[in-house]
């Protein structure tokens, strides 16, 4: 299972590095951005699983970064936790109305921030937190690395397991080959996109080993979906 990627957008070096240290200690892959422009560029290159976004930054503010990302269909679903020293209710409301999924006031407890971060990840990538995934008669348990269909235990290789986990997190959603490469193989490993097709074929075979309809859907020119 690929580790969840958090984009940390903070222009103050000391705060950025302390927070990055704590995130990495919790098992997250951390991308760093020192300003809003850099954050938007990084997201366009490879979407993170979650964004920790400081409000007060020069040039492009965190609020504007949030607004732009939530307007784009391809980035709208990325959870954004806004970090701000602005503690007035009107500021919290403004941040949330702009599209932030959570609002944390500085100075904050790192323990509380991690709990809020995990709550957001539980919503978008539950398997990375060890939570079982179910869809119709298919069940995947990341803790025991066990997959069953209609009660029968299926034999999946590690790549097929990660592939199924990704598809199970968003049944019905079409994942492009590039998105699956990022989620299943990781951003730092070069794999030809045709490799995805090979492993989808293996996953199909495993899921139908004991009968039942093929639950995987191929969308020509777009990618693959579960259901």
Model pLDDT for residues 89-109, shown as the tens digit of each residue: 787 888 888 899 999 988 888
Cα Rg of the chain (Å, integer): 19
pLDDT, position 136 = 93
Q: What is the pLDDT of residues 13-69, one digit of tens each?
A: 999 999 999 999 988 999 999 999 999 999 988 889 899 999 888 889 999 999 999
Q: What is the pTM of this model?
A: 0.66
Q: How confident is residue 187, by pLDDT bands cut at 50, 70 and 90? A: low
Torsion over CA: 155, 159, 165, 166 (sign) = negative
Find the farthest-apart pair of alpha carbons in the chain and give their distance in angstroms, rounded: 59
User: Which of 68-77, 183-192, 202-211 is predicted with the least confidence, judged by mean pLDDT?
Assistant: 183-192
Helix/strand/coil percentages in the chain, nearest 5: 45, 20, 35
Q: Report how far residue 113's alpha carbon sits from residue 165's, in angstroms, rounded to the nearest whole number.
A: 26
Q: Which residues contact 93 (CB under 8 A, 6 or more apart)?
A: none
Q: Report how far residue 127's alpha carbon sits from residue 205's, in angstroms, rounded to the nearest whole number.
A: 22
Nearest CA to 28 out of 54, 60, 52 is that of 52
DSSP strands (E only) in the chain: 5-9, 29-33, 50-54, 80-84, 102-105, 133-135, 138-141, 146-149, 152-154, 216-219, 223-226
Contact 164, 147 (CB under 8 A): yes
User: Which of 1-10, 111-120, 122-131, 169-178 is predicted with the least confidence, judged by mean pLDDT?
Assistant: 122-131
């Amino acid at each position: 299972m690929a580790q969840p990627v958090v984009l940390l957008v903070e222009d103050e070096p000391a705060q950025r590095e302390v927070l990055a240290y704590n995130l990495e200690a919790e098992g997250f892959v951390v991308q760093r951005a020192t300003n809003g422009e850099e954050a938007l560029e990084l997201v366009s290159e490879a979407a993170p699983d979650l964004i920790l976004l400081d409000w007060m930054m020069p040039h492009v503010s965190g609020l504007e970064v949030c607004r732009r990302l939530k307007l784009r269909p391809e980035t709208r679903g990325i959870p954004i936790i806004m970090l701000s020293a602005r503690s007035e209710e009107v500021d919290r409301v403004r941040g949330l109305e702009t599209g932030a999924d959570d609002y944390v006031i500085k100075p904050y407890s790192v323990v509380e921030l991690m709990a809020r971060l995990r709550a957001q990840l539980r919503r978008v990538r539950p398997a990375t937190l060890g939570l079982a995934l179910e869809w119709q008669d298919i069940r995947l348990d990341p803790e025991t690395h066990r997959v069953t269909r209609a009660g029968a235990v299926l034999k999946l290789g590690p790549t097929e397991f990660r592939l199924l986990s990704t598809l199970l997190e968003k049944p019905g959603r079409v994942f492009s080959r590039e998105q699956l490469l990022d989620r299943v193989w990781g951003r730092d490993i070069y794999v030809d996109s045709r490799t995805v097709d090979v492993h989808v074929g293996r996953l199909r075979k495993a899921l139908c080993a004991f009968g039942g309809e093929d639950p995987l859907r191929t969308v020509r020119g777009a990618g693959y979906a579960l259901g």
